Amino acid sequence: MKYFCLSLILFWMFSVQNTYCQIPSVAPTMTIYTDNGTTTETTYTGSAPIKASFSANPEYQGLYTAHYTWKMYEEGHADNPFLVRHDADIEYTFNQSRTIYISLTAVFTLNNDTLIYDQNSPFSVTAYESTLNVPNTFTPNGDDTNDIFKVKDGYRSIVKFHGYIFNRWGKKLFEWTDITTGWDGKYAGHDVADGVYFCHIEATGADGRKFKIKKAINLIRKYIRD
């Protein structure tokens, strides 16, 4: 029994010694959520909304108590962040068109020992200014080219969207709220006639810009590509 107790004491002393020998640290990461999955970056530029998560990833914490401070701020305003959080892992969605910097300070304490980690290079997230353009013509003839009337590729930072299609007599034929989709040239399951129709789109950009687009569009099925 004596030797068993001595072994426990030695094991405890060895564990405590190792605890003091291993210095706590953090390895912060920024993960961006995209349509294709996730990507880990230190700086990111894209179309709002941009969803991101931030992790402190502490190592060798041992008996130390950790205190985390995440700050989000615009350039030149590190001392006046617009958001402060104290969890080891946080999530945030960037909805405005601007550049935001994200930094982490971690403080580890154990008795009279205090270790401070300040992130040398903050992460940054930049959301594009909003852009939205609409074509004049589409050709829903089944050739898999320009068969759907939708906004042009390259739109950026659109956070609200609503589109409508009317005929020349003002009858609503189609409406949609998913900016990635559009009108296939049908009404009630049947092809509409070739001709001129009218598009009305209302949208809002992440920078607050309002889009109100009203224009005539040409539906041409007999289009023959050279």
Q: Over the stretch 154-163, which tens digit does the pLDDT of each residue have?
A: 899 998 999 9
- The pLDDT score that the predictor gives to residue 10 is 33
pLDDT band at 225, cuts 50/70/90? low
- Confidence label for 120 from pLDDT (cuts 50, 70 and 90): confident
pLDDT at site 19? 45
104 CB-near residues (< 8 Å, 6+ apart): 26, 28, 54, 56, 68, 69, 70, 71, 117, 119
Nearest 10 degrees: Cα torsion 5, 10, 16, 20:
170
Report the percentage of the chain scoring pLDDT > 70. Answer: 89
Contacts of 13 (CB under 8 A, 6+ apart): none
Band of pLDDT at residue 11, cut at 50, 70 and 90: very low
Statement: residue 13 has pLDDT above 70? no
* Cα-based angle 206, 211, 213 (whole degrees, multiple of 5): 155
Distance CA 145, CA 132 (A): 21
Q: What is the pLDDT of residue 226?
A: 53
Whether the upstream peptide bond of residue 49 has omega within 30° of 0, thus cis, is yes
* Of 69 and 95, more confident: 69
